[in-house]
A = this chain, B = another copy of it.
Amino acid sequence: MTPPDTTPPDRTRRNRADEPPSQPAFVEHDHHACSGRALEHAERMVREAGLRLTPVRRRTLEILLEEHRALGAYDVLARLAEDGFGNQPPVAYRALDYLVEKGLAHRIRRLNAFAACMAPGHEGAPVFLICGECGCVAELPAEDIAGRLAAAAGGVGFSVERLSIEAKGTCPSCRDNAGGRTCP
């Protein structure tokens, strides 16, 4: 099923040092730079890892990058259709699945939705913090937790291949001005 695909993830390069490691989404930040960084990462993968960022895929990524929020496949599909792409479910699912596979987006299972990866290159299962009020989704690095988890699983003979850690709760913005809806 899985296509051959010989693009190694290559973790040989840490991102540029001076960049603050991608704010937790609900703190005030320059989102234009934030999404730009993610897009740059994708471009770099195009050049260096043979990524095929076709128009649909690229547009899908852009759409996801607009907000720190997860979009349902059908939301994405509607946006794609507006832009002249196909309007059948597989159009969106294909693009989304591809992005997820390449680590440029994540699937948020609790929401049945997809979010752009805002910390590209991290290569470790992130933790998603989902605010139940404003719907913003923050991505927290959690290599240590993932490692600890894999170890615990290994202890009972289970080998982990994919890991999803999702926390639903309240983001600081929403907690402070309750009902304010200031987040993303």
Q: Is A52 an interface residue (CB 8 A)?
A: no
Selected from B24, B142, B162, the residue in CB contact (under 8 A) with A169 is B162
Q: Is A46 an interface residue (CB 8 A)?
A: no
Q: How many chain copies?
A: 2
Among A138, A164, A172, the one with the most B-chain Cβ atoms within 10 Å of its Cβ is A164
Complex: chain B residue closest to A148, CB-CB: B145
Q: Which residues of B contact A81 (CB under 8 A)?
A: none
Known: A127-B152, A142-B149. A168 touches B161 (CB 8 A): yes
Which A5-22 residues sit within 8 Å CB-CB of chain B?
none
In the docked arrangement, what's the CA distance between A178 and B167, Å?
34
Contact at B170–A161, with CB atoms within 8 Å?
A: yes
Q: Is A140 an interface residue (CB 8 A)?
A: yes
- What 1/0 flags go to A55-87 for Cβ under 8 Å of B? 000000000000000000000000000000000
Known: A109-B110, A140-B152. A163 touches B166 (CB 8 A): yes
Q: Is A160 an interface residue (CB 8 A)?
A: yes
Contact at A129–B145, with CB atoms within 8 Å?
A: no
Which A136-184 residues sit within 8 Å CB-CB of chain B?
138, 140, 142, 144-145, 148-150, 152-153, 156-172, 175
- A-B pairs, top 8 by smallest CB distance, nearest first, are A157-B172, A109-B109, A161-B169, A160-B169, A24-B156, A160-B167, A162-B168, A129-B158
Instruction: Give 12 new A-B contacts, CB below 8 A, not counting A109-B166, A140-B156, A163-B165.
Output: A27-B157, A110-B164, A127-B149, A127-B153, A140-B152, A145-B145, A145-B149, A149-B167, A158-B170, A160-B167, A161-B169, A164-B164
Mark A residues whose CB is within 8 Å of B: 24, 26-27, 109-110, 127, 129, 131-132, 138, 140, 142, 144-145, 148-150, 152-153, 156-172, 175
